[in-house]
Amino acid sequence: MSGASASVELPPGAASREVERRRDGIGGRVRDAIAEEVPIALLYNDRPHVVMMATPHDLEDFALGFSLSEGILVEAGELEAVDAQALLEGIELRLRVPPGRADALEERRRNLTGRTSCGLCGAQALEDAVRQPAPVRGGPQIDDAVLRRALAQLHERQPLNLATGATHAAAWARADGTLALVREDVGRHNALDKLVGALVRAGEEVERGFLVVTSRASYEMVQKAATAGIALVAAISAPTALAIQLAETTGVTLIGFARRESHVVYTHPRRISARQEEVPS
């Protein structure tokens, strides 16, 4: 169970609240660490686009990663400026982009309100909902030991979740299994967007590493990864049927139920080298 005393420094994205904790019929007032969740509005050239419920940390990464993973921008240099403004209702991220990008966005504007479990709310057309990224080329060649190495590091690299028990993480592992970057958020899509932004800003080469996420592999996660050029996605939980279909058509190697002792490869197993054994059906 998460918890925090008044003297313990909280990680960014966490708040301290007094709660009543009960155990074996005995209760007491304690301080607890709670994950923050606030409305974050993204405006492109002063035009409102979307409001996402997210953890208010790593916002520059979020702004860049969302813009790239949603296909609003093609390259990082097109994001000219990000201005974060804290308001009573939440946070506004005012993004300055080339006029042509803003005009194209206005034409396919969805006016959606994102939630922690939904990346589609308010989509106006099927092509908005199921966007087909370009096929991913290349990617790393890893083995089971590399995946286990990445997973072994993941737990301790989530300070916000360790404090609150309420957040997802998206992690970037290099080809040897070393975790280079981790981003956390109450929403799995937001965590991935933050990681994509951090990857680009750090100059990491996406063809030389792979993505590990602590959530299920929904199709939006595969969609965002493929749009960013990520060729291998390993999820702690299960994929959906549409995620598998999208991974197949975009050339993404999709792994589900990733554990230190086992995992399931759903698509494009050529990037995973492993000893072949008979598995009981």
Catalytic residue positions? Answer: 118
How far the first Cα of the chain sits from its last, in Å, is 37
| Dist. CA 255–CA 268, nearest whole Å | 10
Pick the closest to residue 60 from 228, 193, 160, 215 (CA basis). Answer: 193
Instruction: Return the H-helix or E-strand segment holding 19.
Output: strand 14-23
Pick the closest to residue 218 from 190, 246, 183 (CA basis). Answer: 246
The size of the chain, in residues, is 281
| Dist. CA 186–CA 200, nearest whole Å | 22
Residues in CB range of 89: below 8 A, 6 or more apart:
39
Residues in CB range of 87: below 8 A, 6 or more apart:
none
Residues in CB range of 127: below 8 A, 6 or more apart:
none
Pick the closest to residue 220 from 247, 254, 189 (CA basis). Answer: 189
For the record, the structure tokens of 52 come out as 């996402």
Residue ranges of E strands in 165-274: 168-174, 179-185, 209-213, 232-235, 253-256, 264-267, 272-273
Residues 168 and 187 sit within 8 Å (Cβ to Cβ)? yes
Residue 29 burial (CB count, 10 A): 8
